[in-house]
Structure 1
Amino acid sequence: MKRLLLFLSTLITSQVMAQQSISPTDTLRSQPPVLTSSAPRPTAEKNELKVNLNESGSHFFKVTFLNQTWLRFNESNPGTTVISEPKTSTFDIGLRRTRMQLFGQLSDHVFLYMQFGLNNFNYLNGGFNPTASSNRKIHAFFHDAVGEYLVWKNKDYLKIGAGLTIVNGLSRFSAPGVSSIMSLDVPVFAQATVDQTDQFSRKLSLYARGQIGHLDYRIALSDPFPIQTSGAALPAYGPNAIYALKGHQKQFQGFFMWQFFDKESNQTPGYNTGTYLGTKKIFNLEAGFITQKNAMVSVPTAGDTTYQDMNLWSVATFLDMPLNKAKGTAVNAYLGYFHTNYGTNYLRFNGSMNPASGLLSGYPAGTQGNAFPMFGTGNVVYTQFGYLLRRDLFGPGNGTLMPYAHAQIANYQRITQTLGVYNIGINYLIKGHNAKLTLDYQNRPYYQASGNQLAPAGRRGQVTLQYQVFI
């Protein structure tokens, strides 16, 4: 840690010295005055913390920082409790994501990528256990730690890497670049095993990725974590599939994009940009999969333990391109179909940075706070659309707006009707993705038991204001 702090101090100091190495006072002292009518040229503003390791800059090391703060009002699902008290609504302040990335091209063939940070840090510090002591100071962890080898110098045909990584299959939203999200948040259901058999969507993996012509590909062999190490209470055996509590199988996954126009960045391992804000012309056809043998287990009848494979796949189209370059307008759109087979009747409720800590008896397990059936065996359609208004909408340097809408529509085996979760919102892009405010409204269903199934019993809303700062 001392070495890390020393490096960061040196990096920041070098940036400051680079910008201040010749001040106006120093220039006047060292040179005679020159009469000119020309105004001084403004100094180009740097937008990154980067150290070049060679003269050309092809070898470099870079640091980024991201902070996403949420202010949120949520209508609680029925039965919700907060620190053992029933609550019909909540207001909370939290850190959805606080991250730092350290990465660089260390030689013609060697790339290093690391990410450290925390997620979902509100007054419950990511989780609340009324029967045990909690420690809000131990929430940050390494998200990624990857070493990568570029097989052909200056060519992205093949990169081979290994470590803790988000290089995933299934979809672009299974490995989202969170600093460039078009809406308030990503569709978390696409991070299919999040915090069950992975570490916040990261797995210990060996992978190959690259770009060949219009094709962008990544394939991975992953060593998933056992569900016993998730930090949550273990699920009970029953007729509904759960993650297997016995055995250990490797996971295979892949993701492929056919890029019709501009190529997307292939620099960092796995991460996919949310929106380029009109700086690129992107139209992709995409497909991906995740498969694991005997990943799930159920007990349909007493003494009849059945293991099932997990098989997930998706197909999608993604568009992000300028409409009027002179005005700076652009559009972002996505439409994806997901087939999610986690085994018979698998269903998992989840709520992002859930503001509730418990649930009264008599209500379906896991339905407190802002939770809804986010993951399940069945079929999901996810779509989003955003429109970037003209640049400098409020005057030069004062930013612009980007309204959006998105929907998750699912038919899961254990719910009696089609699920629909809908969001509308607007971004105030103060300085692109580097500084932005996002106001979002979500409308979701809540559920009651109906035999072994769950039936919708009403709907609730949530309003969130996010302030993102990124460099």
Structure 2
Amino acid sequence: MKNNLFLSLLLFLIGVNLSFAQGSTEYTGGMKVKLNEDGTKYFRIISWAQFWAQYNNNETLNAFGNEESDLNFSIRRARILMYAQLTNRFLILTHFGLNSQNAANMHPVGKSESSQLFFHDVWGEYALNKNHSIGGGLHYWNGISRLNNQSTLNMLTLDNNRQSWATIGLSDQFARHMGIYLKGKFGKLQYRVSVNEAINDGLDAENIPTQNNATYSGRNILGGKNAGKNFAGYFDYNFLDQESNFLPYKVGSYIGGKKVFNVGAGFFYHPNGSTILDESENFEGQDVAIFSIDAFYDAPIGTKGAAITAYAVYQNNDYGDNFTFGQTYESGSMLYGHVGYVIPGTSELLKIQPYLSYTNRSINAIDDDTNRFGIGGNLYFSGHHSKLSLEYSNQQYGNLDAVDIFTLQAMIYL
């Protein structure tokens, strides 16, 4: 009996392929378990975690009027992703985890909402042919821009540009919609389009619109028949090396592993997604329309390990008249860009990548701008599998005082 158990375990381990490639950027790491000899039937498990130590000068007080700590620790992300194929026609993916857990939202016995694991993605896919697939479920095949489809395990900057996840919590569940999608490519042109359900109880659903200010509450107020569906798409042309679109998650930095230059454009459209009061104090729907154009460049420079990563996007956001929510989402426009440089001469097991980022947003509701500047760097011990990131950011929102934040992140990706 013991010998049979040992033999079964040995055969299982022989069938497992652990892939920890230096500089791995796409979802090729983790543990791949082969279900047949040639590996065409398999499942792969990937896990990653990001831990933050963050200092900011934004003074806050607790309920008793005492000042809160300026230095705080948190788990920014803890995720597990698994996908499987039994034939090259079918794919199923599940992705679950938690986000932004800290001392303020933890629970004594782990029962609060912030302590709970939840599904980020659950979708199945069928390949129509070699280049085109259709799928459905809770998915991340988003529109608008590259950053609205950003992977969270290989970003250049410490975190994604927040406003690029332009519908998170407003019409979706944590940047995922429930719906159907079509994705594929025509030569060097890749595409993804989707038709989705809008969430009923979004972040802004409980706020009441006025005659001058819209709220993102269309489905909640007008009902699913009038405001239940939204439409999204993103298209990018790959001029140089071809990126994978096997999974939806866009790479943030290849740290010299590819030579990529892409130009893209995308949209998000939600008919009657927002509401406003007309002159008779009746609810009136307003369409939510977001579109962007962007460009991404990532390439090695010379022969000593140097590499550059650069990205720029223009995004126009129309959430309805004078819409604003939490200094995060506003009707207006946005310019964002970042650039990073891998310093040459470091070893294969140690790479240093300083970077800069800048955001300018126009805000219709306050007739003013907000600006954010970030400077930081990544220290790679084994590509994106193990890295430290340090960033300083300064944000000025309208005429409010600027907020300075220092963040140190440690990340492990297996």
Q: Please classify the TM superposition score into its range, dividing by the shorter chain length.
A: 0.7 to 0.9
Q: 2:117 aligns with which of 140, 144, 147?
A: 140
Contact 2:29 2:46 in 1 (8 A): no
Q: Distance in 2 between matches of 1:65 and 1:12?
A: 23
Question: Rg bigger for which structure?
Answer: 1
Distance 1:89 1:331, change over 3 A: same
Distance 1:396 1:190, change over 3 A: closer
Cα drift, residue 143 of structure 1: 0.4
Q: Map 1:53-452 onto structure 2 (within 5 A).
A: 53-76=35-58, 80-83=60-63, 85-87=65-67, 90-125=70-105, 135=112, 138-152=115-129, 155=130, 157-227=131-201, 230=203, 234-238=206-210, 239-244=212-217, 245-246=220-221, 247-248=223-224, 249-268=228-247, 270-299=248-277, 301=279, 303-324=281-302, 326-349=303-326, 373-390=327-344, 393=346, 395=347, 397=349, 399-446=350-397
Q: Distance in 1 between matches of 2:105 and 2:78?
A: 13
Q: Give the aligned residue type for 2:32.
A: K
Distance 1:89 1:412, change over 3 A: farther
Cα drift, residue 75 of structure 1: 1.4
SS at match of 2:368: coil
Deviation track 1:357-384 (CA, whole Å, cap 9, x = no partner) reads xxxxxxxxxxxxxxxx221101100101
Distance 1:137 1:12, change over 3 A: farther
Contact 1:416 1:456 in 2 (8 A): no
TM-score (norm: length of structure 2): 0.88
Distance 1:18 1:51, change over 3 A: closer
Match of 1:38 in 2: none
Cα drift, residue 198 of structure 1: 1.2
Distance 1:173 1:19, change over 3 A: closer
Distance 1:146 1:67, change over 3 A: same
Q: Distance in 1 between matches of 2:337 and 2:388?
A: 22
Match of 1:468 in 2: 411
Cα drift, residue 457 of structure 1: 2.7
Q: Give the aligned residue type for 2:240.
A: F
Distance 1:83 1:344, change over 3 A: same
Cα drift, residue 172 of structure 1: 1.0
Q: How many residues align?
A: 391
Cα drift, residue 243 of structure 1: 1.3
Contact 1:203 1:222 in 2 (8 A): yes
For the aligned residues, what is the CA RMSD? 2.6
Contact 1:75 1:88 in 2 (8 A): no
TM-score (norm: length of structure 1): 0.78
SS at match of 1:340: strand
Q: Give the aligned residue type for 1:266.
A: N
Distance 1:49 1:456, change over 3 A: same
Contact 2:15 2:33 in 1 (8 A): no
Q: Give the aligned residue type for 1:292.
A: H
Cα drift, residue 414 of structure 1: 1.5
Contact 1:76 1:89 in 2 (8 A): no
Contact 1:74 1:89 in 2 (8 A): no
Contact 1:387 1:403 in 2 (8 A): yes
Contact 2:158 2:390 in 1 (8 A): yes
What stretches of structure 2 of length at least 5 have no aligned partner? 1-7, 23-27
Distance 1:142 1:330, change over 3 A: same
